[in-house]
A = this chain, B = another copy of it.
Amino acid sequence: MLGCGMARTDDRFRSAYNRLLDICGSMDIGGQLPAETVLADRMDVSRTIVRSALQKLDSDKLIRWEGRNKTLIRKPEPEHRLEVEEGTLSTEELEQRFFEWILRFDVPAGTALNVAQFSRQFGVPVHNLQEFLAGLSRLGLVERRPRGGWFLLGFTSEFAIELSDFRMVLELNAVRQLLTLPPEHEIWQKLETLKQEHEDLKAVLKDRYHDFSLLDEKFHSAINSVVKNRFVLEAQKLIKLIFHYHYMWDKRDELERNAAAIEEHLEWINAILAHDVEKSEAAALKHLRRSKVTLLQSLRGHKFA
């Protein structure tokens, strides 16, 4: 253990060792530690780790370990604790950092992605990045080059158009399903609340137009929540991501855009609450079409900024 080039972090060992110190701390000198299996169970690690930790406790003269006797001979002090590395970025965080990078620097489609550089920049093992990019390739955002490496595909106008069209298909389907739901379904109450929230924000929009982004997400999530389907959900995660990030970086005409969107949302909500299928679909289409145009404009804006 602790060779010069450690092929794998011993993080799990270190945190287990510290937890074992805690256990020792709550015991009296001369007391016996429980069996290896019991410790392994209690700390949710393998016996291998328990045994390594016990070995270290023994060689550090905190316990005397002979066969199945593990006698505490000294109370652990704070300096006995091992430093535990802070965890690496989660997939969600990595996703955030990646999209932020793309949009902040207007990375154009076709750009080669340097895994080693990302690894340094984000402090993420190359391995995790490969995995992350492989996932994105299924979504058509990146592609593998014939001989190693990756390159960015997405964020062209075509991508935005197709994503928006896909969004339309999914949300119109959600609207159709929604309108067949019985009056006792929670969605109706949700929509009443959302209507009120839209009207409240509309009244103070000039001062608080930044707040619309959150409300927008809440509204679309509510509409989509009636469809219980893992494929739809997965697709919506991507849609939310792209639209969210683009709005975050495109601040032109934000007040006007949000004012128009609120009106469209209200028209849509009212049509649904009136159980008017035709009007609901029309209102949905109107809003989604304008959303598509906005996304396209934000892309062009970025490109020629």
Contacts of A229 in B (CB 8 A): 162, 165-166
A139 interface hit (Cβ, 8 Å): yes
- Which listed residue, B12, B130, B139, B173, touches A169 by the CB 8 Å rule? B173
- Check if B131 sits within 8 Å of A231, measured CB to CB: no
In chain B, what residue has the closest Cβ to A173? Answer: B169
Instruction: Tell me how far the C-beta of A4 lies from the nearest C-beta in chain B, rounded to whole angstroms.
Output: 19
> Cα distance A108–B53 when bound, in Å?
37
Contacts of A166 in B (CB 8 A): 229, 231-232
A113 interface hit (Cβ, 8 Å): no
> Cα distance A127–B235 when bound, in Å?
26
Interface of A is mostly: helix
* A interface residues, Cβ below 8 angstroms from B: 12, 127, 130-132, 134-140, 147, 159, 162-163, 165-166, 169-170, 173, 228-232, 234-235
Instruction: Tell me how far the C-beta of A224 lies from the nearest C-beta in chain B, rounded to whole angstroms.
Output: 12
Q: Top 7 A-B pairs ranked by shortest CB distance? A: A134-B134, A131-B134, A166-B231, A135-B138, A138-B138, A162-B229, A140-B230
Beyond A138-B139, A140-B234, 13 extra complex contacts between A and B, CB < 8 Å: A130-B134, A131-B134, A135-B138, A138-B138, A138-B234, A139-B231, A140-B231, A159-B230, A162-B228, A162-B231, A165-B229, A166-B232, A231-B235
Contacts of A132 in B (CB 8 A): 134
- Check if B162 sits within 8 Å of A230, measured CB to CB: yes
> Cα distance A138–B133 when bound, in Å?
11
In chain B, what residue has the closest Cβ to A166? Answer: B231
Contacts of A136 in B (CB 8 A): 138
Contacts of A163 in B (CB 8 A): 231
